[in-house]
């Protein structure tokens, strides 16, 4: 089982940027697709970005160009660059597969966007 450790969250003001990182406990090279999710307070966890081994990328519910997902199959990391952050981006962010069966969920990393 692959386990993920997310980091990089924090408290920022609207318009600022954060770069989230997710480190896997094992190789992700054989995982065709990986993704970032977020769970806002009182809401369900939702997928925000996914990336395949071929480099195919898709975002959901994010304005084009504001978030950028990437993966490094050598370092077994998945990153999410988030720019022009808004209060509605406030959530706990997680990484995992974009489809079931999911790996065990990590602790996530908290992002708070507030003026």
**What is the band of 13 on the pLDDT scale with cuts at 50, 70, 90?**
very high
Give CA–CA dist 32/101, Å, rounded: 13
Q: For 107, which DSSP code?
A: -
3-class SS at 68? strand
Give CA–CA dist 5/108, Å, rounded: 7
pLDDT at position 1, please?
86
- Whether 14 and 87 have beta carbons less than 8 Å apart is answered as yes
What residues contact residue 7 under an 8 Å CB cut-off, 6+ apart? 20, 21, 22, 23, 109
- Whether 112 and 90 have beta carbons less than 8 Å apart is answered as yes
For range 69-82, the mean pLDDT: 97
pLDDT at position 64, please?
86
For range 3-7, the mean pLDDT: 97
pLDDT tens digits, 17-74: 999 999 999 999 999 999 999 999 999 999 999 999 998 999 999 988 999 999 999 9
Long-range own/partner contacts, residues 28-31 (CB < 8 A, 24 or more apart): 28/2, 28/71, 28/73, 28/76, 28/78, 29/53, 29/73, 29/76, 31/2, 31/97
């Amino acid at each position: 089982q692959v386990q993920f450790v997310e980091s990089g969250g924090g408290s920022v003001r609207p318009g600022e940027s954060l770069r989230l990182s997710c480190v896997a406990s094992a190789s992700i090279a054989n995982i065709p697709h990986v993704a970032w999710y977020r769970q806002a307070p009182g809401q369900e966890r939702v997928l925000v970005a996914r990336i395949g081994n071929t480099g195919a990328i898709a975002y959901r519910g994010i304005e084009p160009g504001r978030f950028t997902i990437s993966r490094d199959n050598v370092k077994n990391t998945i990153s999410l660059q988030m720019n022009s952050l808004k209060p509605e981006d406030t959530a706990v962010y997680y990484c995992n597969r974009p489809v079931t069966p999911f790996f065990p969920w990590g602790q996530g990393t908290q992002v708070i966007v507030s003026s």
